[in-house]
Amino acid sequence: MWAHASDAWIDEAKLDPKDGQIGFVGYEINFNRYFYRYTPPGPLEEIEVDIRGIEKDIMKMLAEVRGEVEHC
């Protein structure tokens, strides 16, 4: 039994070096289509807390790069 892929296509500009015919034999496995499982983001409040923490870490790293000493 043959499976039909509705989004299959042939690039007629490419010739197979073995037989000189149009196209190559092969396929693509779209990992997102078969293996990705959507996980909804957490509550907005948790995301905001995470972003604030990351911002604080970035500011600390920038202060280190500039040679500043953080007084916290």
| pLDDT at residue 56 in the model | 97
For the chain, residues with pLDDT lower than 50 are: 1
**CB neighbourhood size of 60 (10 A):** 13
Q: CA Rg, the chain, in Å?
A: 26
What's the rounded Cα separation, in Å, for the pair 50 and 41? 12
Phi and psi at residue 61, to the nearest 5°:
-65, -40
pTM of the shown model: 0.45
| pLDDT at residue 52 in the model | 98
What's the rounded Cα separation, in Å, for the pair 53 and 27? 44
| pLDDT at residue 64 in the model | 92
Paired tokens of 70: 């953080």
